[in-house]
Structure 1
Amino acid sequence: MQASLRLLDKRRFLPLFITQLLGAFNDNLFKNAMVLFVVYHVYNDEKSETWFSALATGLFILPFFLLSALSGQLADQRDKAKIIRWVKAAEIVIMAVGAVGLALIWSGIAVHVLAIPLLLAALFAMGIHSTFFGPIKYAILPQHLHDDEVLGGTGLVEAGTYIAILAGTILAGIIPIEAAAVAIVVTALVGFVAGRAVPPAPSLLERQPIDFHIIRSSVALVKGTMHIRRLYLAIMAISFFWAVGSVLFIQFPPLVKNVLTADKPVASLFLAIFSIGIAIGSVAINRLLQGHVSAKYAPASVIGMGLCVVAFHVVCDLWTPAPGGQMLSLGDFLAHPLAVPLSLCLLGVATFGGMFVVPLYAFLTTTVEKCEAARTVAANNIVNSGAMVIGSLIAIGLSLAGLSVVNQLLLVAGLCLPCAWLAWSLHKACDGPACA
């Protein structure tokens, strides 16, 4: 781990790390401030709250499905550092629109007619921003780092991302929404400055025409990647993982409000615990693998994740709600006798999840040529986002069918089984030195 931390004083890593960290922080501060305010102050029934949470998640993910092929082509054909500067400049404009939406919804002005549509439009635009940044943050690492630094760099990026998610999530639950409106614009400005310090990362390919037909290019990209068995297994395993993750994130706000009868800061705490766990798992798996890219611990990790989800379901089912329609404050929640077991179950879910997914991302960028890394990540993003949209639709469908969010957790646990099978198949198929 100390060797990985040394990357933080290198210009070939630190500006990218800061830029990614601030982007993840901003995404989550904005999204969670919006969702928590709407769930707790606009809607007042579990179905509507779950529907809105799923809609917000789906809108953020949809650009990954539609535009990842285009973003992958650009990242492979153009200087990645220049693209970072373009997307960080766009973030400033997007967050200005989001800030207006937050100000309107806080003021109670045209909440359903203007404020919520503006917020959802800004969230969709941030999804586009992240779609174009996503392939770069992984594909640039093999170009700027030595071969024995890539896993550590990937782990630091993942850990930093979830620490940023943690900070954004916590702030979204405790600061006034008008303060969040200011913070997202300021963060976008700082992120733009950091992005300008990323060293050049010119294309390693001869310049070719960009195919702007998003359907044709998406199909071609996925076909060109998924026919390789190892990449197919890694991408499918990651996709199942994010389908599970999307359902969990959709469930958290309505589950905290309606099942645990707890206030908004507790929902923020749940998302924060999840982020801490992913960060812990990201660092832990790097220590276990000692810098080698391998899927050998992935099957056990995702099985552990599934068992923790089942335990989380059991504790939620045993939870005694607050009396008389009251809401538990953060202090009251922490004083509840089942609060510690519940938090530990959630931490376990996230820690095992981090241990599962980080080596698979490193696998995608180290088992292909460096000039193909961005397109491989983009193909992965297309399939991942499709799985997450499906997860969002399943969550909406189950809620409309009357299945409680507590019982939906069992579906999440069940999805861990195909994840484990795919990871085991990947480990068996991977017999080269990169997957020892």
Structure 2
Amino acid sequence: MTEQSQFALLGKKRFLPFFITQLLGAFNDNIFKQSLILAILFKISSGTDKALLINLCALLFILPFFLFSALGGQFGEKFAKDALIRKIKFAEIVIMLLGAAGVLLGSLPLMLAVLFAMGTQSALFGPVKYSILPQHLEEQELVGGNALVEMGTFLAILAGTVGAGIIMASSGYASIVAACVVLVAVLGYLASRGIPAASPAMPELKLDWNILRQSWLIMKLGLGQRPAVSRSLVGNSWFWFLGAVYLTQIPAYAKEWLNGDESVVTLILTMFSLGIGLGSMLCERMSGHKVEIGLVPFGSIGLTVFGILLWWFSGGFPEAAVAHDWLTVLSYSQAWWILGSILGIGLFGGFYIVPLYALIQSRTVEHERARVIAANNILNALFMVASAIASILFLSVAELSIPQLFLTISLMNIAVNSYIFKIVPEFSMRFMIWLLSHSMYRVEHKGLEAIPDEGAAVLVCNHVSFVDALLVGGAVRRPVRFVMYYKIYNLPVLNFIFRTAGTVPIAGRNEDLLIYDAAFKKIAEYLRNGEVVCIFPEGKLTTDGELNEFKNGIERIIETNPVPVIPMALQGLWGSFFSRDPHKGLFKRLWSRITLVAGTPVAAESVKRELLQAQVAALRGDRL
């Protein structure tokens, strides 16, 4: 299959209407919410404490995520998602008509009620929004689809925030806001009518209207998933904890530490949002069009590094009698370091969040997906509330400065993700594989579509170096169970990766009969479970770059477990540091192009070791 950029999805009916729908929804939420906040600050005279009202706005918008996400998860399982989205978007029109009336009348209670209704609509939409993607996208499109959604969401947030500021500066702001929110809601509904059918995953589900009980059950369902999914929920929510801290503190940071005006706040928000968008877009290319969770540790490292750099470069910014505008701020070299750090936080945030969303979607069974995402939304809301409490404690009680708060959460990021990666070492393993295939080697893939998307299969490949398994495992979209010589399996450092990946150690029959028999039993178990197993039939590394004779183990495996066999070959590894070339050097063939090529699957009844050896030799060709 030809790999395309994620932007190709924007030309497909199965994605574009949904993308426009969610984009307009995020934009409308932020236009109304930010306009309300600015109206409280500058337009509406009230004897009530303005700071209290602004905090009330935040509470009213986030409270529905606690109350109604569980209901949204049930709706997403029971009803057709396309029809459900249209009903939710029609409700948005009604809500925004009330919001427009509140703005035109200057009625603060009505606008606050509408804000709560908006939060409710978003809470119901969230589980459907992410659970519909796996129904309309192929697995190799999930990363790109999620990247576009994340980019669109953050750019819509930015556009809504900036747009509200521009509108509220006008004397006729009320009529403009009223017309804008209703128009965008109507456009969002019209876009939703183009979303293709998405059948319900569990139409027989009986709705439970007890909010507290169902929220608790859905949280148990989400956190009770396999560790890779449940800890991805935690990681996802932790990202929103970090994001909430940064986004909440940016206005005060711009004013107090950069001596800037409102335009500087917009500049920083723009850099942060562009960073998220850029990181999301780069995810697909860096992951090779597959769900590559190895990018999560990479993103986590970047979040910490750039958070520390932001703290390091803050302080001592030139003062002025009048607040700096954004152009004045850009005239100082220190500002470029600060803005670069903020861009880096957003960039690596994209690397962090997109693979997590894709993993949650791809590894959750269809009839639980919407409820698991509902659990994620509840957890996100909890973490965002926790971020507000933590900020108050650090800034008011511990009396830290805002840059010191940024430093603190950057160090907390190390602790939180160390816990996640310890519980699910697959993250660390995939990161090491990704790092190897993007640092020492440039790996090109050919013909890998021959490997089935589902069902058991055996891969056979030539054995050139100690890192063959890492290169194959990093290239294949599905998890691969490797069979390898037990002495290589036991190598320091690499053993951690092999154990995490479920590798099967094997020895010669005359060398260790127990290991030999246990290996074939484990291989049979993997194949019965419909997994992909990879073996190196030579049984040892090549010492001269040429193929060794294939052993008869492959025939024994297929005789017991008749599954397709896909021949593969690695080209260009001989002479590298990890090969047994006597003339190798540390920098020999560094950053060289390695090719992994797969051939036509061989039916079980045709499997012979001589045939497979000839096919692997033909695939490898003359390039050792």
Q: TM-score, normalised by structure 1?
A: 0.88
Aligned pairs (5 A) from 1:272-421: 272-323=270-321, 326-401=322-397, 402-421=399-418
Alignment correspondent of 1:174: 166
Contact preservation (8 Å) 2:300, 2:417: yes
Greater shift after overlay, 225-234 or 401-410?
Answer: 401-410
Shift of 1:48: 7.1
Q: Residue 22 of structure 1 is aligned with which of 17, 21, 24?
A: 24
Alignment correspondent of 2:269: 271
Matches of 1:103 and 1:404, distance apart in 2: 40
Contact preservation (8 Å) 2:139, 2:290: no
Alignment correspondent of 1:137: 129
Contact preservation (8 Å) 1:54, 1:250: no
Contact preservation (8 Å) 1:302, 1:419: no
Question: Relative to 1, partners in 2 of residues 1:95 and 1:206: Cα closer, same or farther, differing over 3 Å?
Answer: closer
Question: Relative to 1, partners in 2 of residues 1:2 and 1:391: Cα closer, same or farther, differing over 3 Å?
Answer: same
Aligned pairs (5 A) from 1:190-201: 190-201=187-198
Matches of 1:203 and 1:249, distance apart in 2: 36
Matches of 1:295 and 1:422, distance apart in 2: 16
Q: Residue 121 of structure 1 is aligned with which of 113, 120, 144?
A: 113
Q: Secondary structure at the match of 1:338?
A: helix
Alignment correspondent of 1:57: 58
Gaps of 5+ in 1: none
- 1:205-263 per-position Cα deviation (integer Å, ceiling 9, x unaligned): 24221001111111111112212322221111111111111111111222223333322
Equivalent position amino acid for 2:65 in 1: F
Cα RMSD (Å): 2.7
Q: Secondary structure at the match of 1:406?
A: helix
Shift of 1:392: 1.8
Question: Relative to 1, partners in 2 of residues 1:152 and 1:422: Cα closer, same or farther, differing over 3 Å?
Answer: farther
Gaps of 5+ in 2: 430-472, 481-624
Greater shift after overlay, 73-82 or 387-396?
Answer: 387-396
Contact preservation (8 Å) 2:231, 2:424: no
Shift of 1:29: 2.3
Equivalent position amino acid for 2:79 in 1: R
Shift of 1:426: 6.2
- 1:242-288 per-position Cα deviation (integer Å, ceiling 9, x unaligned): 11111111112222233333222322222222111111111112111
Equivalent position amino acid for 1:7 in 2: L
Aligned pairs (5 A) from 1:27-42: 27-36=29-38, 38=40
Matches of 1:267 and 1:36, distance apart in 2: 14
Whichever of the two has the greater Rg, that structure is 2
Matches of 1:345 and 1:48, distance apart in 2: 32
Q: Residue 152 of structure 1 is aligned with which of 140, 144, 167?
A: 144
Matches of 1:2 and 1:322, distance apart in 2: 51
Equivalent position amino acid for 1:275 in 2: S
- 1:314-367 per-position Cα deviation (integer Å, ceiling 9, x unaligned): 3332323332xx322233333344322221111111110111011000001100
Matches of 1:288 and 1:182, distance apart in 2: 42
Taking only the aligned residue pairs, the percentage that are identical comes to 37
Question: Relative to 1, partners in 2 of residues 1:303 and 1:40: Cα closer, same or farther, differing over 3 Å?
Answer: farther
Say whether 1:11 aligns with 2:13. yes
Contact preservation (8 Å) 2:10, 2:16: yes
Contact preservation (8 Å) 2:309, 2:341: yes
Aligned pairs (5 A) from 1:223-242: 223-228=220-225, 229-242=227-240
Shift of 1:413: 1.5
Shift of 1:62: 2.2
Contact preservation (8 Å) 2:276, 2:348: yes
Contact preservation (8 Å) 2:232, 2:360: yes
Say whether 1:72 aligns with 2:73. yes
Matches of 1:60 and 1:271, distance apart in 2: 20
Q: Secondary structure at the match of 1:175?
A: helix
Matches of 1:181 and 1:398, distance apart in 2: 39
Shift of 1:14: 0.8
Q: Secondary structure at the match of 2:315?
A: helix
Matches of 1:48 and 1:255, distance apart in 2: 20
Matches of 1:296 and 1:100, distance apart in 2: 49
Kindly indicate which of the two structures has a greater share of residues assigned to strand: 2
Contact preservation (8 Å) 2:140, 2:291: no
Question: Relative to 1, partners in 2 of residues 1:11 and 1:361: Cα closer, same or farther, differing over 3 Å?
Answer: same
Equivalent position amino acid for 1:21 in 2: L
Matches of 1:48 and 1:408, distance apart in 2: 25
Alignment correspondent of 1:252: 250
Kindly indicate which of the two structures has a greater share of residues assigned to helix: 1
Question: Relative to 1, partners in 2 of residues 1:354 and 1:419: Cα closer, same or farther, differing over 3 Å?
Answer: farther
Greater shift after overlay, 404-413 or 197-206?
Answer: 404-413
Aligned length, in residue pairs = 421
Contact preservation (8 Å) 1:68, 1:132: yes
Matches of 2:286 and 2:154, distance apart in 1: 20
Shift of 1:80: 0.8
Matches of 1:170 and 1:48, distance apart in 2: 21
Equivalent position amino acid for 2:183 in 1: V
Shift of 1:23: 0.9
User: Which is bigger in relative contact order (C-alpha 8 A, separation at least 6)?
Assistant: 1
Shift of 1:400: 4.3
Q: TM-score, normalised by structure 2?
A: 0.63
